[in-house]
Structure 1
Amino acid sequence: EAVCSSAVNSVYETKAKALVVLSNTGRSARLVAKYRPNCPIVCVTTRLQTCRQLNITQGVESVFFDTDRLGHDEGKEDRVATGVEFAKSRGFVQSGDSCVVVHADHKVKGYANQTRILLVD
Protein backbone atom coordinates (compact mmCIF):
# COMPACT_ATOMS: atom_id res chain seq x y z
CA GLU A 1 0.00 0.00 0.00
CA ALA A 2 2.91 2.36 0.68
CA VAL A 3 4.13 1.99 -2.90
CA CYS A 4 0.68 2.85 -4.26
CA SER A 5 0.40 5.88 -1.97
CA SER A 6 3.87 6.99 -3.04
CA ALA A 7 2.91 6.61 -6.70
CA VAL A 8 -0.07 8.94 -6.24
CA ASN A 9 2.18 11.47 -4.48
CA SER A 10 4.55 11.23 -7.46
CA VAL A 11 1.64 12.02 -9.78
CA TYR A 12 1.00 15.27 -7.94
CA GLU A 13 4.69 16.22 -7.68
CA THR A 14 5.51 15.55 -11.34
CA LYS A 15 2.13 16.60 -12.76
CA ALA A 16 1.91 13.23 -14.51
CA LYS A 17 -0.96 12.80 -16.95
CA ALA A 18 -1.56 9.08 -16.31
CA LEU A 19 -0.72 6.31 -13.90
CA VAL A 20 0.04 2.89 -15.43
CA VAL A 21 -0.28 -0.12 -13.12
CA LEU A 22 0.83 -3.64 -13.97
CA SER A 23 -1.28 -6.05 -11.95
CA ASN A 24 -2.51 -9.60 -12.42
CA THR A 25 -5.08 -9.55 -9.62
CA GLY A 26 -6.05 -5.86 -9.79
CA ARG A 27 -5.17 -5.30 -6.14
CA SER A 28 -2.52 -2.68 -6.89
CA ALA A 29 -4.87 -0.79 -9.20
CA ARG A 30 -7.56 -0.73 -6.52
CA LEU A 31 -5.07 0.51 -3.93
CA VAL A 32 -3.95 3.32 -6.24
CA ALA A 33 -7.59 4.22 -7.00
CA LYS A 34 -8.27 4.43 -3.28
CA TYR A 35 -6.16 7.62 -3.15
CA ARG A 36 -8.14 9.21 -6.02
CA PRO A 37 -5.30 10.65 -8.13
CA ASN A 38 -6.16 13.53 -10.45
CA CYS A 39 -5.26 11.49 -13.54
CA PRO A 40 -6.58 8.30 -15.16
CA ILE A 41 -5.29 4.95 -13.95
CA VAL A 42 -4.52 2.41 -16.68
CA CYS A 43 -4.18 -1.14 -15.38
CA VAL A 44 -2.56 -3.69 -17.68
CA THR A 45 -3.42 -7.25 -16.72
CA THR A 46 -2.91 -10.70 -18.20
CA ARG A 47 -6.17 -12.01 -16.74
CA LEU A 48 -9.46 -11.37 -18.49
CA GLN A 49 -11.41 -11.80 -15.26
CA THR A 50 -9.37 -9.05 -13.57
CA CYS A 51 -9.96 -6.81 -16.58
CA ARG A 52 -13.71 -7.26 -16.21
CA GLN A 53 -13.66 -6.77 -12.44
CA LEU A 54 -11.75 -3.49 -12.72
CA ASN A 55 -14.50 -2.02 -14.90
CA ILE A 56 -16.42 -1.10 -11.75
CA THR A 57 -13.46 0.55 -10.01
CA GLN A 58 -13.74 4.33 -10.24
CA GLY A 59 -10.96 5.98 -12.21
CA VAL A 60 -9.46 2.73 -13.54
CA GLU A 61 -9.33 1.76 -17.21
CA SER A 62 -8.23 -1.84 -17.70
CA VAL A 63 -6.33 -3.30 -20.63
CA PHE A 64 -6.04 -7.02 -21.32
CA PHE A 65 -2.52 -8.11 -22.30
CA ASP A 66 -2.94 -11.38 -24.20
CA THR A 67 0.26 -13.38 -23.78
CA ASP A 68 -1.12 -16.31 -25.81
CA ARG A 69 -1.82 -14.17 -28.87
CA LEU A 70 1.59 -12.53 -28.72
CA GLY A 71 3.38 -15.83 -28.37
CA HIS A 72 5.64 -14.84 -25.50
CA ASP A 73 5.61 -14.42 -21.75
CA GLU A 74 4.37 -11.34 -19.97
CA GLY A 75 7.38 -9.07 -20.41
CA LYS A 76 7.23 -6.11 -18.08
CA GLU A 77 8.38 -3.59 -20.68
CA ASP A 78 5.87 -4.88 -23.24
CA ARG A 79 3.09 -4.46 -20.70
CA VAL A 80 4.21 -0.93 -19.83
CA ALA A 81 4.31 -0.04 -23.54
CA THR A 82 0.80 -1.46 -23.96
CA GLY A 83 -0.47 0.70 -21.11
CA VAL A 84 1.16 3.85 -22.47
CA GLU A 85 -0.16 3.19 -25.99
CA PHE A 86 -3.66 2.68 -24.58
CA ALA A 87 -3.36 5.96 -22.67
CA LYS A 88 -2.24 7.72 -25.87
CA SER A 89 -5.12 6.23 -27.86
CA ARG A 90 -7.63 7.46 -25.28
CA GLY A 91 -6.10 10.94 -25.22
CA PHE A 92 -4.88 10.70 -21.62
CA VAL A 93 -1.26 11.43 -22.57
CA GLN A 94 0.61 12.97 -25.46
CA SER A 95 4.21 12.91 -26.53
CA GLY A 96 6.36 14.65 -23.92
CA ASP A 97 3.98 14.00 -21.00
CA SER A 98 5.04 12.00 -17.99
CA CYS A 99 3.45 8.83 -16.61
CA VAL A 100 3.96 7.12 -13.29
CA VAL A 101 4.35 3.35 -13.56
CA VAL A 102 3.69 0.94 -10.67
CA HIS A 103 4.80 -2.69 -10.94
CA ALA A 104 6.39 -5.58 -9.10
CA ASP A 105 9.97 -6.65 -9.40
CA HIS A 106 10.22 -9.73 -11.63
CA LYS A 107 11.67 -11.68 -8.69
CA VAL A 108 8.79 -10.88 -6.35
CA LYS A 109 5.28 -12.20 -6.78
CA GLY A 110 2.20 -10.80 -5.13
CA TYR A 111 2.68 -7.11 -4.53
CA ALA A 112 3.82 -4.05 -6.41
CA ASN A 113 7.11 -2.82 -5.01
CA GLN A 114 8.45 -0.39 -7.61
CA THR A 115 7.44 3.01 -8.90
CA ARG A 116 9.05 4.88 -11.75
CA ILE A 117 8.39 7.96 -13.83
CA LEU A 118 8.30 7.52 -17.58
CA LEU A 119 8.43 10.16 -20.30
CA VAL A 120 6.01 9.40 -23.15
CA ASP A 121 7.61 9.24 -26.63
Structure 2
Amino acid sequence: MQPYPPRDNGFDPTDIEANKGMAIVAYILFFVPLIAAKNSRFAMYHANQGLTLFLAFAVCNVVLGILPFIGWFLLPLVNLALFVLMVLGIINAAQGQAKPLPVIGAYTLIK
Protein backbone atom coordinates (compact mmCIF):
# COMPACT_ATOMS: atom_id res chain seq x y z
CA MET A 1 0.00 0.00 0.00
CA GLN A 2 1.41 3.37 -1.01
CA PRO A 3 1.17 6.21 1.52
CA TYR A 4 0.53 8.76 -1.24
CA PRO A 5 -0.98 8.71 -4.73
CA PRO A 6 1.43 7.77 -7.52
CA ARG A 7 3.81 10.55 -8.43
CA ASP A 8 3.73 11.18 -12.14
CA ASN A 9 4.82 14.81 -11.76
CA GLY A 10 8.55 14.19 -12.28
CA PHE A 11 9.66 14.89 -8.70
CA ASP A 12 12.07 12.51 -6.96
CA PRO A 13 10.31 10.66 -4.10
CA THR A 14 13.37 11.08 -1.84
CA ASP A 15 13.37 14.83 -2.55
CA ILE A 16 9.69 14.96 -1.66
CA GLU A 17 10.14 13.12 1.64
CA ALA A 18 13.24 15.11 2.61
CA ASN A 19 11.75 18.53 1.86
CA LYS A 20 8.08 18.13 2.67
CA GLY A 21 8.44 20.39 5.71
CA MET A 22 10.03 23.14 3.64
CA ALA A 23 7.22 22.83 1.10
CA ILE A 24 4.66 23.34 3.87
CA VAL A 25 6.54 26.35 5.26
CA ALA A 26 6.58 27.88 1.75
CA TYR A 27 2.90 28.76 2.04
CA ILE A 28 3.48 30.69 5.26
CA LEU A 29 6.93 32.23 4.57
CA PHE A 30 7.75 31.66 0.91
CA PHE A 31 11.37 32.82 1.22
CA VAL A 32 12.46 30.20 3.79
CA PRO A 33 12.72 27.35 1.22
CA LEU A 34 14.58 29.72 -1.10
CA ILE A 35 17.31 29.90 1.54
CA ALA A 36 17.14 26.51 3.27
CA ALA A 37 16.21 24.12 0.44
CA LYS A 38 17.39 25.84 -2.72
CA ASN A 39 18.49 22.54 -4.31
CA SER A 40 15.09 20.88 -3.93
CA ARG A 41 12.81 21.04 -6.98
CA PHE A 42 9.83 20.08 -4.79
CA ALA A 43 10.46 22.85 -2.24
CA MET A 44 11.09 25.38 -5.03
CA TYR A 45 7.79 24.43 -6.70
CA HIS A 46 5.90 25.13 -3.48
CA ALA A 47 7.96 28.28 -2.82
CA ASN A 48 6.80 29.54 -6.22
CA GLN A 49 3.20 28.76 -5.31
CA GLY A 50 3.68 30.51 -1.94
CA LEU A 51 5.18 33.60 -3.60
CA THR A 52 2.31 33.78 -6.08
CA LEU A 53 -0.18 33.47 -3.23
CA PHE A 54 1.63 36.18 -1.24
CA LEU A 55 1.54 38.56 -4.21
CA ALA A 56 -2.16 37.82 -4.74
CA PHE A 57 -2.80 38.66 -1.06
CA ALA A 58 -0.81 41.90 -1.35
CA VAL A 59 -2.40 43.10 -4.60
CA CYS A 60 -5.94 42.24 -3.53
CA ASN A 61 -5.55 43.93 -0.15
CA VAL A 62 -4.11 47.12 -1.64
CA VAL A 63 -6.62 47.39 -4.48
CA LEU A 64 -9.71 46.43 -2.49
CA GLY A 65 -8.57 48.49 0.50
CA ILE A 66 -8.50 51.63 -1.66
CA LEU A 67 -11.93 51.10 -3.25
CA PRO A 68 -14.66 52.51 -1.03
CA PHE A 69 -17.69 50.41 -0.10
CA ILE A 70 -17.45 47.69 -2.79
CA GLY A 71 -13.81 47.01 -2.01
CA TRP A 72 -14.45 47.02 1.71
CA PHE A 73 -17.26 44.51 1.21
CA LEU A 74 -15.24 42.24 -1.09
CA LEU A 75 -11.97 42.35 0.87
CA PRO A 76 -12.98 39.81 3.57
CA LEU A 77 -14.41 37.45 0.94
CA VAL A 78 -11.28 37.60 -1.21
CA ASN A 79 -9.05 37.12 1.83
CA LEU A 80 -11.09 34.09 2.83
CA ALA A 81 -10.74 32.64 -0.68
CA LEU A 82 -6.98 33.21 -0.63
CA PHE A 83 -6.76 31.62 2.83
CA VAL A 84 -8.55 28.55 1.44
CA LEU A 85 -5.97 28.42 -1.37
CA MET A 86 -3.20 28.55 1.24
CA VAL A 87 -4.74 25.63 3.13
CA LEU A 88 -5.06 23.66 -0.14
CA GLY A 89 -1.40 24.30 -0.88
CA ILE A 90 -0.35 23.15 2.59
CA ILE A 91 -2.43 19.99 2.22
CA ASN A 92 -0.89 19.26 -1.20
CA ALA A 93 2.62 19.78 0.18
CA ALA A 94 1.94 17.58 3.21
CA GLN A 95 0.66 14.80 0.95
CA GLY A 96 3.75 15.04 -1.26
CA GLN A 97 1.81 16.33 -4.26
CA ALA A 98 2.75 19.14 -6.62
CA LYS A 99 -0.63 20.29 -7.88
CA PRO A 100 -1.01 23.90 -8.95
CA LEU A 101 -3.34 26.05 -6.89
CA PRO A 102 -6.65 26.91 -8.55
CA VAL A 103 -6.74 30.26 -10.40
CA ILE A 104 -3.22 31.46 -9.46
CA GLY A 105 -1.18 28.24 -9.69
CA ALA A 106 -0.36 28.51 -13.39
CA TYR A 107 2.11 31.37 -12.90
CA THR A 108 5.82 30.62 -12.52
CA LEU A 109 7.80 33.35 -10.82
CA ILE A 110 10.69 31.26 -9.45
CA LYS A 111 12.58 29.05 -11.87
**TM-score (norm: length of structure 1):** 0.29
Q: Work out which of the two has the higher radius of gyration on C-alpha atoms and give 1 or 2.
A: 2
In proportion to residue count, which structure has more helix?
Answer: 2
The structure whose residues are more often strand, as a share, is 1
